[in-house]
Amino acid sequence: MQRTSRLKRELHLLTTEPPPGIMFWQNKNRMDDLRAQILGGTNTPYDKGVFNLEVVVPERYPFEPPKIRFLTPIYHPNIDSAGRICLDVLRLPPKGAWRPSLNISTLLTSIQLLMSEPNPDDPLMADISSEYKYNKEVFIRNAKQWTEKHASQQKRSEELESSRVAEGNIGVEGTSWIIKSSPCYHRQPHQITLPKLQMRK
């Protein structure tokens, strides 16, 4: 009951007052299977890109964090080829920093911040991390190319419209792209300063 009532409040807030640069909707009208869209930030390689994400809410929410992954391919040190994200607030303590007072809006805003501020010292993608640290110009060029190829606004708008017509059934994209990965799950995930967001009662 607590999960359902809380999700209703969160979904209402996310759809009526979403964080800047973030869109949110239910997939097939299910409260535990959600979709989000994050706009790439200006002055980043992801500028003008539109990135789709899957948000799966577990039965024990808010005592367990939602499972969030990118559906749109993104060239980023902390996001792997399956869309998994290395971020402390997406994991339970002691290795993670999730707590029940956080919410889905906070997580999406934190992911948006991670896109703008990668952490190459705690990577999921070792090759991209090395490139980011030692050859920044090449990283920026590659990230821009991936954004243009996979996350252009026209492409995302067409797919969003198509997915909503089909009740939001968005499939996993780019499953063929493979780069050497170094999962951060064996180490402390990337920690960031959380935005001060409060959920309305």
Active site residues: 86
Residue 145 CA to residue 172 CA, distance in Å, equals: 20
DSSP 3-state assignment of 68? Answer: strand
DSSP 3-state assignment of 29? Answer: coil
Alpha carbon distances (Å) from 131 to 90, 94, 114, 134, 135: 25, 30, 17, 5, 5
CA atoms in the 13 A half-sphere facing the CB of 93: 5
Residue among 19, 56, 12 nearest 37 (CA): 19
CB 70, CB 124: distance < 8 Å: no
Residue 129 CA to residue 134 CA, distance in Å, equals: 9
Burial (CB count <10 Å: 0-12, 13-18, 19+), residue 126: middle
